[in-house]
Amino acid sequence: MIYLQLFLEFAKISLVCVGGGYASMPLIQSAVVDTYHWLSLSEFIDIFTISQMTPGPIGINAATFAGMKIAGLGGAICATMGFVTPSIFLCIGLAKIIFKYGDLGAIHGILNGLRPAVMALIAAACVSFVLLAVWNAEKMPKDLLATFDIKGAIILVGALIAVRKKIGVIKVLLASGVVGLILGLVI
Protein backbone atom coordinates (compact mmCIF):
# COMPACT_ATOMS: atom_id res chain seq x y z
CA MET A 1 0.00 0.00 0.00
CA ILE A 2 2.83 2.44 0.84
CA TYR A 3 4.34 1.84 -2.61
CA LEU A 4 1.13 2.84 -4.36
CA GLN A 5 0.77 5.86 -2.05
CA LEU A 6 4.32 6.97 -2.85
CA PHE A 7 3.79 6.54 -6.59
CA LEU A 8 0.49 8.44 -6.60
CA GLU A 9 1.69 11.24 -4.31
CA PHE A 10 4.83 11.90 -6.32
CA ALA A 11 2.86 11.63 -9.58
CA LYS A 12 0.46 14.26 -8.24
CA ILE A 13 3.37 16.52 -7.31
CA SER A 14 4.92 16.07 -10.74
CA LEU A 15 1.64 16.93 -12.47
CA VAL A 16 1.28 20.30 -10.76
CA CYS A 17 4.94 21.20 -10.42
CA VAL A 18 5.86 23.94 -12.85
CA GLY A 19 9.27 25.54 -12.78
CA GLY A 20 11.70 22.73 -12.22
CA GLY A 21 13.05 20.84 -9.27
CA TYR A 22 13.29 23.72 -6.82
CA ALA A 23 9.62 24.49 -7.33
CA SER A 24 8.80 20.88 -6.42
CA MET A 25 10.47 21.12 -3.01
CA PRO A 26 7.59 22.83 -1.16
CA LEU A 27 5.15 20.38 -2.71
CA ILE A 28 7.25 17.39 -1.68
CA GLN A 29 7.68 18.93 1.78
CA SER A 30 3.94 19.41 2.11
CA ALA A 31 3.27 15.79 1.22
CA VAL A 32 5.99 13.93 3.11
CA VAL A 33 6.24 16.23 6.15
CA ASP A 34 2.88 17.96 6.63
CA THR A 35 0.26 15.62 5.13
CA TYR A 36 1.55 12.08 5.68
CA HIS A 37 4.16 12.75 8.41
CA TRP A 38 6.48 10.26 6.75
CA LEU A 39 9.48 12.50 7.50
CA SER A 40 10.29 15.29 9.92
CA LEU A 41 11.19 18.70 8.52
CA SER A 42 14.77 18.11 9.60
CA GLU A 43 14.89 14.81 7.68
CA PHE A 44 13.39 16.53 4.64
CA ILE A 45 16.01 19.31 4.78
CA ASP A 46 18.70 16.61 4.90
CA ILE A 47 17.16 14.97 1.82
CA PHE A 48 16.99 18.35 0.08
CA THR A 49 20.67 18.93 0.86
CA ILE A 50 21.75 15.51 -0.39
CA SER A 51 19.58 15.93 -3.50
CA GLN A 52 21.35 19.21 -4.24
CA MET A 53 24.79 17.61 -3.89
CA THR A 54 24.20 14.52 -6.02
CA PRO A 55 24.21 14.47 -9.83
CA GLY A 56 20.88 14.67 -11.61
CA PRO A 57 17.69 16.71 -11.36
CA ILE A 58 16.98 17.78 -7.79
CA GLY A 59 13.27 16.88 -7.89
CA ILE A 60 13.97 13.33 -9.04
CA ASN A 61 16.80 12.98 -6.53
CA ALA A 62 14.53 14.20 -3.72
CA ALA A 63 11.79 11.76 -4.75
CA THR A 64 14.30 8.90 -4.81
CA PHE A 65 15.87 9.76 -1.45
CA ALA A 66 12.51 10.39 0.22
CA GLY A 67 11.11 7.11 -1.12
CA MET A 68 14.19 5.27 0.12
CA LYS A 69 13.91 6.80 3.59
CA ILE A 70 10.17 6.06 3.77
CA ALA A 71 9.99 2.53 2.32
CA GLY A 72 13.41 1.29 1.28
CA LEU A 73 14.44 0.40 -2.27
CA GLY A 74 10.87 -0.30 -3.38
CA GLY A 75 9.81 3.08 -2.05
CA ALA A 76 12.65 4.78 -3.91
CA ILE A 77 11.62 3.13 -7.17
CA CYS A 78 7.92 3.93 -6.71
CA ALA A 79 8.49 7.57 -5.72
CA THR A 80 10.90 8.11 -8.60
CA MET A 81 8.62 6.47 -11.15
CA GLY A 82 5.69 8.47 -9.81
CA PHE A 83 7.67 11.67 -10.19
CA VAL A 84 8.89 11.05 -13.75
CA THR A 85 5.91 9.30 -15.37
CA PRO A 86 3.57 12.33 -15.63
CA SER A 87 6.47 14.48 -16.83
CA ILE A 88 7.12 12.19 -19.76
CA PHE A 89 3.54 12.47 -20.99
CA LEU A 90 3.26 16.19 -20.22
CA CYS A 91 6.51 16.99 -22.03
CA ILE A 92 5.44 15.11 -25.13
CA GLY A 93 2.03 16.81 -25.13
CA LEU A 94 3.38 20.29 -24.41
CA ALA A 95 6.12 19.93 -27.02
CA LYS A 96 3.48 19.18 -29.64
CA ILE A 97 1.41 22.21 -28.57
CA ILE A 98 4.37 24.61 -28.39
CA PHE A 99 5.78 23.51 -31.76
CA LYS A 100 2.35 23.95 -33.33
CA TYR A 101 1.05 27.07 -31.49
CA GLY A 102 4.13 28.50 -29.73
CA ASP A 103 3.99 31.83 -31.53
CA LEU A 104 0.52 32.63 -30.14
CA GLY A 105 0.28 35.40 -27.57
CA ALA A 106 -1.89 33.22 -25.31
CA ILE A 107 0.93 30.69 -24.86
CA HIS A 108 3.35 33.47 -23.91
CA GLY A 109 0.76 34.94 -21.54
CA ILE A 110 0.29 31.61 -19.76
CA LEU A 111 4.03 31.12 -19.38
CA ASN A 112 4.49 34.69 -18.11
CA GLY A 113 1.70 34.10 -15.57
CA LEU A 114 3.31 30.93 -14.27
CA ARG A 115 6.71 32.51 -13.53
CA PRO A 116 5.60 34.53 -10.47
CA ALA A 117 3.74 31.51 -9.06
CA VAL A 118 6.88 29.40 -9.39
CA MET A 119 8.89 32.07 -7.59
CA ALA A 120 6.31 32.09 -4.78
CA LEU A 121 6.73 28.32 -4.36
CA ILE A 122 10.50 28.63 -4.23
CA ALA A 123 10.32 31.58 -1.77
CA ALA A 124 7.99 29.63 0.54
CA ALA A 125 10.46 26.75 0.63
CA CYS A 126 13.32 29.17 1.32
CA VAL A 127 11.54 30.65 4.34
CA SER A 128 11.09 27.17 5.85
CA PHE A 129 14.72 26.30 5.20
CA VAL A 130 16.04 29.56 6.72
CA LEU A 131 13.94 29.06 9.85
CA LEU A 132 15.35 25.57 10.29
CA ALA A 133 18.93 26.61 9.48
CA VAL A 134 19.08 29.70 11.70
CA TRP A 135 16.50 29.07 14.43
CA ASN A 136 16.19 25.26 14.41
CA ALA A 137 12.43 25.76 14.18
CA GLU A 138 9.73 24.87 11.70
CA LYS A 139 7.78 28.08 12.45
CA MET A 140 8.89 31.56 13.44
CA PRO A 141 9.87 31.29 17.13
CA LYS A 142 8.36 33.70 19.66
CA ASP A 143 11.74 34.49 21.17
CA LEU A 144 14.08 34.99 18.23
CA LEU A 145 17.21 35.35 20.34
CA ALA A 146 16.63 32.29 22.53
CA THR A 147 16.72 29.84 19.62
CA PHE A 148 19.06 31.75 17.31
CA ASP A 149 21.83 29.51 16.00
CA ILE A 150 24.90 31.66 15.35
CA LYS A 151 26.66 28.77 13.56
CA GLY A 152 23.76 28.36 11.14
CA ALA A 153 23.62 32.11 10.53
CA ILE A 154 27.36 32.32 9.83
CA ILE A 155 27.22 29.44 7.37
CA LEU A 156 24.08 30.82 5.69
CA VAL A 157 25.57 34.29 5.20
CA GLY A 158 28.91 32.86 4.04
CA ALA A 159 27.20 30.55 1.55
CA LEU A 160 25.03 33.40 0.22
CA ILE A 161 28.13 35.55 -0.32
CA ALA A 162 29.95 32.67 -2.03
CA VAL A 163 27.01 31.96 -4.34
CA ARG A 164 26.72 35.67 -5.26
CA LYS A 165 30.45 35.63 -6.11
CA LYS A 166 29.75 32.74 -8.51
CA ILE A 167 31.68 30.13 -6.52
CA GLY A 168 30.62 26.63 -7.60
CA VAL A 169 27.85 24.86 -5.72
CA ILE A 170 30.01 21.85 -4.82
CA LYS A 171 32.73 24.11 -3.39
CA VAL A 172 30.14 26.04 -1.38
CA LEU A 173 28.62 22.85 0.02
CA LEU A 174 31.99 21.32 0.87
CA ALA A 175 33.20 24.54 2.51
CA SER A 176 29.94 24.83 4.45
CA GLY A 177 30.39 21.29 5.77
CA VAL A 178 33.95 22.03 6.84
CA VAL A 179 32.93 25.32 8.49
CA GLY A 180 30.05 23.50 10.25
CA LEU A 181 32.48 20.93 11.59
CA ILE A 182 34.94 23.58 12.78
CA LEU A 183 32.25 25.77 14.35
CA GLY A 184 30.75 22.69 16.03
CA LEU A 185 34.10 21.98 17.66
CA VAL A 186 34.85 25.61 18.58
CA ILE A 187 31.47 27.05 19.60
The 10s digit of each residue's pLDDT in 107-155 is: 778 878 888 988 888 888 888 888 888 888 777 888 888 889 999 999 9
Domain residue ranges in the chain: 2-144, 149-187
Residue 2 confidence (pLDDT): 96
Which among 63, 105, 102 is positioned nearest to 85, based on CA atoms? 63
Residue range 51-71: mean pLDDT, rounded: 92
168 has pLDDT over 80: yes
CA angle 78, 80, 82 (to 5 degrees): 65
d(CA 81, CA 8): 10
The 10s digit of each residue's pLDDT in 73-103 is: 999 999 999 999 998 998 899 888 888 877 7
d(CA 166, CA 160): 10
Residue 19 confidence (pLDDT): 65
Residue range 160-174: mean pLDDT, rounded: 93
**Single pTM value for the model:** 0.67
Cα atoms in the Cβ-side hemisphere of radius 13 Å centred on 98: 10
